[in-house]
Amino acid sequence: MKRKKLWLALSAFMVLATAGGTFAWLELKRYSRTPAGEETSERSFAVEPGEALVSIARRLEAQGLIRSALGFRWLARLEEAERRIQAGEYALSPSLSPREILSRFLHGRVRLYRLTIPEGWTIPQIAAVVEKTGLAPAEEFVALARDPALAKKLGIPADSLEGYLFPETYFFPRGAGVRRILQTMVERFHAAYPPEWDEQASRLGLSRHEAVTLASIIEKETGDPAERPLIAAVFHNRLKRGMRLETDPTVIYGLGDFDGNLTRRHLETPTPYNTYLIRGLPPGPIANPGKASLHAALFPAPTPFLYFVSRNDGTHHFSTTYEEHQRAVRFYQRGEGQAPATREASRF
């Protein structure tokens, strides 16, 4: 009789325990799918390296991102996720369910910051936007971008990465670090510069570094894509004849601290980048060119032009002779005389 009563008691306990366990499991399942609220605006939530699950859960609850810290801890343990949560900065909102939040932690879907680099920007300009985006201090970016050891490690034949930070839109997580950002930009340059372009550069008597240097000057000289091959032709023609390039952007780059007003004194100031005084190309790029300017530098238009002058509308007038060029200068820059005839590019 006693043995029968004990068996009945144990059976009842097992039924209750099973029912309780089933109820708890169903409640946890419901919790995992239920967002804390309807607000969809995202906020930043950082998981620190080595941070304990209990701390993460408490902060999630305190910020209104989940309803229950205890429920989140049980969910993480059920998924055996406690040691697999990845550190980083995440963009979370109360409209995400606890399971969705946990999934982001487990897959490392950290918040990414958009970094857009326009064609023709210099290292300091890129550094300023990197800092503004919150990815790294500008000073640190400039210092590492001009580190000869890093340039060598990344396969750049120069003491600086100027010219090789490819203009594009990138996405980086906070904490990516300057080295990773620079490496990504240089890798993108290598991907955009096909191996056959080195053969073309060699046919033109240029090294890759010289081709990039020329492309950077072309990039700074015109904002009109259609003019790039013509600008390139002028520079190639002048180089072949031993003429100085006499291009303002190189002078400005060599000055470093430029107030925006280019004067005769600047043109007479000796620097390695003053192409009014030196012959040939400057020692390195003066900006970071895009693919179109790189292509133009290697595939110039077949034209005998040796000069160009701004029309003050974003385009240029091209000339073959110095006399023709002077007439264009007088008309477009001084408002004197008649407009010179515009000639189409012609083959040699």
Rounded to an integer, what distance in angstroms lies between the CA atom of residue 51 and that of residue 83? 10
pTM over 0.75: yes
Q: Kindly state which CATH superfamily the domain 33-110 is placed in.
A: Endolytic murein transglycosylase (3.30.1490.480)
Residue 220 confidence (pLDDT): 95
| Residue 27, pLDDT score | 77
- Return the pLDDT at 192: 96
Sign (positive/negative) of CA torsion 276, 282, 286, 292?
positive
3-state helix, strand, coil split of the chain in percent (to 5) is: 50, 10, 40
CA distance 264 to 286: 20
For 49: left if phi > 0, alpha if psi spans -120 to 50, otherwise beta; the answer is beta
C-alpha to C-alpha distance for 149 and 141, rounded to whole angstroms? 14
What is the per-residue pLDDT for 258?
Answer: 78
Alpha carbon separation from 35 to 32, 64, 85, 98, 232 (Å, rounded): 8, 10, 20, 7, 59
Distance, CA of 263 to CA of 252 (rounded, Å): 10
Ranges in the chain, pLDDT < 70: 1-26, 337-339, 341-348
Instruction: Tell me the Ramachandran region of residue 289: left when phi exceeds 0, alpha when psi lies from -120 to 50, beta otherwise.
Output: beta
- What's the CA gap between 230 and 220, in Å, rounded? 14
Q: What is the pLDDT of residue 83?
A: 87
DSSP codes joined into one string, 216-264: HHHHHH-S-GGGHHHHHHHHHHHHHTT-----HHHHHHHHSS--S---H
| Per-residue model confidence (pLDDT) at position 60 | 96
pLDDT of residue 342: 64
Domain boundaries, the chain: 33-110, 112-192, 196-301
pLDDT, position 344: 53
**Tell me, what's the pLDDT at 337?**
67
344 C-beta neighbours (distance < 10 Å), count:
6
Q: What is the pLDDT of residue 210?
A: 98
Identify the pLDDT of residue 299. 98
